[in-house]
Amino acid sequence: MFPEDVISELEEIRSHYPHAKAAMMPVLHVAQQQKGWLDQETQAWVADFLSVDPIEVHEVVTFYPMLYATPNGEHVIHVCRTLSCDECGARELWAHLKSKLGVERGGTTSDGKFTLRAAECLASCGTAPAFLVDGERHESLSLDEVDALLESV
Ligand code: FES
């Protein structure tokens, strides 16, 4: 599943917790860094590694928006869905991006270029709406500026 150096890293992480299950989030982050997303095979491997039921891993993977149970396109857009952004333009931003990209939340464009995902508060509430493109934060952009940004990546 993973190269030896990654297994060693995961074992080191697991050793820092009194119960293996408590290491689930950092283990999943490393697994996702390695694989790009957390498919069923990877989830099952993590469950075995942490001695938990596979459904427990699946519940965590599908609960947190920054963990991916489906593959991503070339670029990932995370739009904040939390209250301040929702009240300050994120609804319009969501509608614009869904229309422009032709996808729903969680979807990937037909050319595989963009995946549109939700994020919880990105700590930019005062400059809402906030979103990430490939992990880089953008705030309070007009829809024209959003279009220009996406055309530049
Ligand atoms: S609510 Fe969107 S950045 Fe805080």
CB 152 within 8 A of CB 145: no
Name the residue of 124, 127, 139, 140 to mutate for ligand 1: max ligand atoms within 8 A of Cβ: 124
pTM of the model: 0.86
Residue type, 26: P
**pLDDT tens, N- to C-terminus, the chain (153 residues):** 899 999 999 999 999 999 999 999 999 999 999 999 999 999 999 999 999 999 999 999 999 999 999 999 999 999 999 999 999 999 999 999 999 999 999 999 999 999 999 999 999 999 999 999 999 999 999 999 999 999 999
Q: Ligand 1 pocket, 38 CB below 6 A? A: no
Only one residue has tokens 């982050």, namely 29
Q: What atom in ligand 1 is closest to the CA of residue 127?
A: 3
Are residue 90 and residue 130 in the same domain, yes or no? yes
Q: How far is the centre of ligand 1, averaged over its atoms, from the C-alpha of 78 (Å)?
A: 12
How many domains is the chain partitioned into structurally?
2
Q: Is 80 in the pocket of ligand 1 (CB under 6 A)?
A: yes
| Residue 126 Cα to ligand 1 middle (Å) | 8
CATH for 122:
3.40.30.10
CATH of the domain at 9: 1.10.10
Alpha-carbon span 90 to 79, nearest angstrom: 7
Backbone angles phi, psi at 58, to 5 degrees: -60, -40
Looking at the CA of residue 119, tell me the nearest atom of ligand 1. Answer: 2
53 and 93 in a single domain? The answer is no
